[in-house]
Amino acid sequence: MSYLLIAEDDEDDRFLAKKAFRASGSKVPIEFAKDGEELIDKLEESVEKGEKMPDLILLDLNMPKKDGRQCLAEIKQSPALKKIPVIVFTTSKLPEDIDKTYDLGTSSYINKPVEFKELINIFSLLTKYWFKTVQLPVAS
């Protein structure tokens, strides 16, 4: 079963993401990590237990404990995790953040929208593309 893992430290943003994802019509299960440390712990635990990996990770950049840049670097350096597509999903529009995350191996960089309707649209497009269109590799 496919699933989406969202790393987001803001509780309100997690709530809105879940609501918008369901409003988009997507049936893909979602799991959340509340910070970068929890994200990496979840992924490493799944590797250790031989559990299913997420098919896609949405990654906020500015999180406590480990920020998104650190998480992205760790994911892309890990033989067991590097094939998982990671989309940076952040409020930052800084060119240096965009450049750095592409250098680290992000699959896409998306700015969080202000309008809820646009958030629904983004999740609809993500579902169509990442879960219904492309062929994803099986994470090691």
In a domain, 17, yes or no: yes
Q: Within a domain: residue 55?
A: yes
Identify whether the C-beta of residue 69 lies closer than 8 Å to the C-beta of residue 40.
no
Predicted pLDDT of residue 1: 56
Each residue's pLDDT tens digit, 45-71: 999 998 889 999 999 999 988 999 999
Q: What is the layout of strands, in order, in the sheet containing 108-111? A: 30-33, 4-7, 56-59, 86-90, 108-111
What torsion, rounded to 10 degrees, do the Cα atoms 93, 116, 54, 35 define?
Answer: 60
Range of the domain at 64: 4-130
- Strand residue runs (E) in the chain: 4-7, 30-33, 56-59, 86-90, 108-111
pLDDT, one tens digit per residue, over 109-118 is: 999 999 999 9
Note whether residue 135 is domain-resident: no
Gap between the Cα atoms of 76 and 17, Å rounded: 24
Structure confidence at residue 139 (pLDDT): 56
Residue 140, pLDDT > 60, answer: no
Mean pLDDT for the stretch of residues 64-85: 94
> Structural domain tally of the chain?
1
What residue has token string 């760790």? 74
pLDDT in tens, 25-47: 988 999 999 999 999 999 999 99
Which pTM does this prediction carry? 0.93
Q: SS3 of 98, please?
A: helix
CA distance 105 to 60: 15
Task: State the pLDDT at residue 75.
Answer: 97
Query: Distances from the Cα of 110 to the Cαs of 61, 118, 123, in angstroms?
Result: 11, 12, 11
Of the candidates 30, 7, 3, the residue with the CA atom closest to the CA atom of residue 106? 7
Please report, for the domain that includes residue 93, its CATH number. 3.40.50.2300
121 lies in some domain: yes
